[in-house]
Structure 1
Amino acid sequence: MTTSLRALPLPNAIGLTTMLLLALSLAGCNGKKAEDEKKKEEPAIPVEVAPVTQGRIDAAYRGTATLEAENEATVMAKQGGVIEQVMVEEGDRVQAGQVLARLETDKLRFELARAQADVDRLEQDFTRLKSVYQRNLVSREAYDKTQYDLAAAHAAADLATLALKEAQIRAPFDGVVSARFIKRGNLIQANTQAFRITQLDRLRAAIYVPERDIDKLKPEHDVKLTVDAYPDQVFGGVVMLINPVVDASSGTVKVTVRIDAKQSTLRPGMFARAEILYDRHEQALLVPRDAVLVEDAAESVYLVHDGRAQRRPIKVGYGDAEHFEVLDGLKLGDQVVTTGQSSLKDDAKVDVVQPLKAAPATAAPATAAPAKAS
């Protein structure tokens, strides 16, 4: 017996197709709905933002230096002997020629008296011999010898006077006693160091600049300095000298900076951070330094628009401690992310929060703070 296959009735085929299309439509709607719900459930990343501003920015070479006194001298004892009196201590201000210490001078005074006695004796001998010589009663040889002896006696007396004077150790210039190497009663030899005198009001700093940057710097360029002792203060200086020779071992050039004399809080030996300002742009677009990301030598920022972060490549120019100059990629007023960008990706949802403001400092009672030494 032969069995024949019968085709499904046409209404049943149409119903099956309709059911398939309906299932696909429902699946698409459900997928879109799930995607929308997932997008709505995407957590917002908290960030802080700041606007792109316009202002002045300086181009500077930044380096470090140790402050030095322009005038500093180690005062040596010119005579040997026992220290009889020390007149100054470390920290005392002194003037040029002021006596710092004295040596015992009894022996020196006796030597001066003996030398002066020899001068007096020879002067009398020469006066008598001169009158005799004028009458041709003595030889020229005897006359010349007495004259030479008198000159030698004067020289010996002058040396004894100088030795007595040099028994007083004096300051070579105005300044401050920064070190004392002797004590009363010490026996010292000639050319022994006794004091160090430093001029605190005339300071300089040596900054070693790589040779590739030296063409940017010129004498009279302004310099800004900061020191750890006064972190909130900026001190001024000016480029005084640029060494014409490159140090072959380090590839650097010594730049000497003269520091303004009125800044009396600075001291020799302080470690300073210096900025030599060599150019300035007045109306530059500025973006906070914290907003700029650097990857593979390329800079970028995250912009905030309609609650989402957009990564934007930029081109920067000069930079300082707080800002970068923007040459391309941003416009005035753009909001850029300054905090939280490490967790961002392009088109991420963000929640802009305001940075916490520091609470105002409460003044302490006058009795609570110890008095500062004047």
Structure 2
Amino acid sequence: MKRRYITIAIIAGIILLISWKLLSNKKQLNEKNKPVLNTNIRVPVSVTVVKSVPGNISFRKTGSLSPFKTVKVLATTSGLLLRLPFELGDAVQQGQTLALLDTRLLNIDLQKATTNITKLKNDLDTYTDLLKGHAATQEKVNEIRQQYLAELNQADRLRRQINDATIQSPLNGIIAAKAVEQGAYVNSGAELATVVNLSKVKAQVNLTETEVYKIKTGNHVSITADVYPDVTYDGNISFISPQADATHNYLVEVTITNTGRNMLRAGTFVNVDFVYSAGHDILVIPREALTESIQQASVYVVQQQQAVRRQVKTGLEMNGQIEIRNGLSAGDTVVTSGQINLKEGTAVNIAK
């Protein structure tokens, strides 16, 4: 029995020794396989230096052109169109006849009215003399006078209708639309044609709140169009909306002189370049250096090979650059790419 207990004790000791050895080996393997933290890893980034530049700030907006004046030509009386001496695209002058209505019936009515006026005038003179001799009543004289005045009004109305039958162009321009054809009967107020004046054109663009307070009515601007890439047009700010739209943008209208060989057409897309002087030097950085929206702008500045986050206040955006009004100084090094991998204090490696 004693020998049996000794044997069991020896076996248990061997098992414990093997278990301890296995645990010891596993611990050594875990330590060996544990990843080694490399505190020397640096995130590669591209950077630029904050620049101080003269405060002649420019920004570009895109808009489309509309005619300086557009007028619909309407019939001012009813009648048959005897003449319609124009076609689409014709150039017309102010006062040029665009349509002639049939006035034969109106002329007949005017002749009748003129005859009646002459007769009533004689009757009125006769009865007025009779009234003085007490040979006629005042009521009869008043009746004839009323008829005489009614015929005068009728004659004036007919003359206006005859004059209105000759429809003239209200301005210099080009026929942009033709609504009727010769021989048609038109009612008063019917549209006959549309005339547009392209000697000047208007470009409409939307400016932000920051931008709109930098311009004034009458300021000079430069305009370019892709259709004439080598031509620059001169324009002036003719209108600034006093009220923002739902997106807090302000409508600005620019008037452009549109004469010469390279005339622009309504509907053409153009680039409008605004320029103003801040009166002092300003700080600028590339737009891509911002890590948040313009309203909550921030950048990463490189200091002692580490990324330091800075909140900044921005100004106008111009040609890929953005004005920095607060938060940076000239000569600061800011990250322009690689920000997605950065946080406060991250070690960086500046790409050459």
Letter in 2 for 1:88: F
Pick aligned residue for 2:255 from 251, 255, 259? 259
In structure 2, the residue matched to 1:165 is: 163
SS at match of 1:202: strand
SS at match of 1:71: strand
SS at match of 2:113: helix
Equivalent-residue separation in structure 2 for 1:254 and 1:268 (angstroms):
22
Letter in 1 for 2:98: L
Would the alpha carbon gap of residues 55 and 218 (structure 1) be closer, same or farther in structure 2, given more than 3 Å must change? closer
SS at match of 1:89: coil
Equivalent-residue separation in structure 2 for 1:277 and 1:119 (angstroms):
69
Say whether the 8 Å CA contact 1:67–1:204 is kept in structure 2.
Answer: yes
Pick aligned residue for 1:153 from 134, 151, 176? 151
Say whether the 8 Å CA contact 1:286–1:325 is kept in structure 2.
Answer: yes
Would the alpha carbon gap of residues 246 and 329 (structure 1) be closer, same or farther in structure 2, given more than 3 Å must change? closer
- Where does the alignment leave 5 or more consecutive residues of structure 1 unmatched? 1-51, 302-310, 332-337, 339-345, 351-374
Equivalent-residue separation in structure 1 for 2:290 and 2:193 (angstroms):
54
In structure 2, the residue matched to 1:86 is: 84
SS at match of 1:218: coil
In structure 1, the residue matched to 2:175 is: 177
Say whether the 8 Å CA contact 1:67–1:267 is kept in structure 2.
Answer: yes
Equivalent-residue separation in structure 2 for 1:322 and 1:236 (angstroms):
24
Letter in 2 for 1:252: H
Correspondence list, 1:177-326, <5 A: 177-211=175-209, 213-247=211-245, 250-252=246-248, 254-263=250-259, 265-279=263-277, 295=291, 320-321=318-319
Would the alpha carbon gap of residues 195 and 268 (structure 1) be closer, same or farther in structure 2, given more than 3 Å must change? same
Say whether the 8 Å CA contact 2:63–2:203 is kept in structure 1.
Answer: yes
Would the alpha carbon gap of residues 188 and 116 (structure 1) be closer, same or farther in structure 2, given more than 3 Å must change? same
> What's the offset of the Cα at 1:176?
2.4
> What's the offset of the Cα at 1:330?
7.3
SS at match of 1:259: strand
> What's the offset of the Cα at 1:71?
2.2
In structure 2, the residue matched to 1:144 is: 142
Say whether the 8 Å CA contact 1:57–1:318 is kept in structure 2.
Answer: no
- The farther-off stretch of 235-244 and 100-109 is 235-244
Letter in 1 for 2:68: E
Equivalent-residue separation in structure 2 for 1:164 and 1:349 (angstroms):
84
In structure 2, the residue matched to 1:59 is: 58
SS at match of 2:199: coil
- Where does the alignment leave 5 or more consecutive residues of structure 2 unmatched? 1-50, 302-306, 337-347
In structure 1, the residue matched to 2:110 is: 112
Equivalent-residue separation in structure 1 for 2:329 and 2:247 (angstroms):
36
Equivalent-residue separation in structure 1 for 2:158 and 2:269 (angstroms):
47
Letter in 2 for 1:106: R
Say whether the 8 Å CA contact 2:258–2:264 is kept in structure 1.
Answer: no
Percent sequence identity is: 21
In structure 2, the residue matched to 1:356 is: none
Equivalent-residue separation in structure 1 for 2:251 and 2:159 (angstroms):
46
Equivalent-residue separation in structure 2 for 1:253 and 1:325 (angstroms):
19
Equivalent-residue separation in structure 2 for 1:156 and 1:163 (angstroms):
11
> What's the offset of the Cα at 1:151?
1.0
Say whether the 8 Å CA contact 1:220–1:240 is kept in structure 2.
Answer: yes
Would the alpha carbon gap of residues 329 and 258 (structure 1) be closer, same or farther in structure 2, given more than 3 Å must change? closer
TM-score, normalised via structure 2 length: 0.65
Letter in 1 for 2:141: Y
